[in-house]
Amino acid sequence: MPKNKVDDIINRINRETGKFYAFQESHNPQLPADHWFQNPPEGLTLFLVLYTRACRWARCLGCSLPSLESKFDIPFNDIMKQVDYTFDFLLSREQKDNLKKIILSNNGSVLDEATFSTTALLYFIAKMNMSCPYISLLTLETRPEYVDLAELEVLHRALQEGQTAANLELAVGFEAYDEKIRNDYFRKGLSREVFEAMVEKIAKYGFKLKTYFMLKPVPGFSDEEAIVDIVNGVDYLDTLAKKYNIEINMHLNPTYVSRGTGLETEFRKGNYEPPMLESVLKAARSAERKQISLYVGLNDEGLSVPGGSFIREGDEELLEKLQNFNHTSDFSFLK
């Protein structure tokens, strides 16, 4: 797609969805946008966000992640410089030796060649293979429409060439089980039919699947209704895991009010309140004894407006329980 055409699409979508954030044009295009570490049961995990052109979908109600990226094209050689910086300067030798998993993101879709260069993606895997000898899993964030099985085969073959053969995981935002909530209100633009077709395809290759769900993603949704939606989502993923014999993780994100979005507008009007942390615990408990794993997202990535976080004063004990659960997958911490 021509670069100026992508610019036009991004401008039009922001007008139509009432989003009023700016893009991060001052960022050095040869440095990653962000990174942090996680410590799930499978071992030390790097969550790496590279700086590229912003997500082309960008319609999701409460999402301002595109504001951390560029409105304009970032050439593949600049993205490759970000990769060099990551493995040559950002990570210590100890971290590279201890890393077991990398989640690669651009706050959009890594598999969308209009925003993330395929050349740069292959270069990333090559540098990872050379620098991180014990990586067992690479996770790529994407929307399902950008999943190309021929491309995934090549990427997976490259992952097998490291000192430790690594598997591939796709991370897809599903957001809400309820179709009306997900597509009519949140504007995700994802049907179960499209999602399940992707699940069936990647299951045949033994790839893994991570699904992002949001607790209470839209106004007019009580905490109790939001918990029910997550419970339904857990049951749905459990059914798919059994049907297709695929490993599925639910990444449960309590919703925060992100700046420059329609959700912020509703929050300012008094029409929305983020979920209580206690509700997150209740929702997470539903995954016990299911054939899926669960991880609770506790990072607002610095995007929540004042008073718009799901963490409130006095939540320290609940937060510690969730952090302990993330590290161990031990549901006794959620009792």
pLDDT category at 13 given cuts 50, 70, 90 is confident
Residue 191 has pLDDT above 60, yes or no: yes
User: What value does the mean pLDDT take over residues 43-71?
Assistant: 96
- The structure tokens listed for 198 are 């992707």
Q: Locate tokens 């879709």: which residue?
A: 109
Q: What percent of the chain has pLDDT over 70?
A: 98
Residue 319 has pLDDT above 90, yes or no: yes
Within its chain, how far is the Cα of 292 from the centroid?
A: 17
For residues 295 and 328, is the Cβ–Cβ distance under 8 A? no
The counts of H helices and E strands in the chain are 11, 8
Residue 230 has pLDDT above 80, yes or no: yes
Within its chain, how far is the Cα of 198 from the centroid?
A: 17
Residue 312 has pLDDT above 80, yes or no: yes
For residues 285 and 247, is the Cβ–Cβ distance under 8 A? no
pLDDT in tens, 93-108: 999 999 999 999 999 9
For residues 260 and 203, is the Cβ–Cβ distance under 8 A? no
For residues 51 and 72, is the Cβ–Cβ distance under 8 A? no
Distance CA(205)–CA(43), nearest Å, equals 23
Residue 225 has pLDDT above 70, yes or no: yes
pLDDT number for residue 289: 97
- CB-neighbour burial class of residue 73 (10 A; exposed 0-12, middle 13-18, buried 19+): middle
- Comparing CA positions, the residue from 75, 66, 33, 64 lying closest to residue 51 is 33
pLDDT number for residue 12: 80
Distance CA(330)–CA(199), nearest Å, equals 27
- The structure tokens listed for 315 are 């939540």
pLDDT number for residue 6: 67
pLDDT number for residue 4: 59
pLDDT number for residue 291: 98
pLDDT number for residue 18: 77
Residue 85 has pLDDT above 90, yes or no: yes
Q: Locate tokens 């615990």: which residue?
A: 281
pLDDT number for residue 5: 65
pLDDT number for residue 15: 75
The radius of gyration of the chain from alpha carbons, rounded to an integer in Å, stands at 19
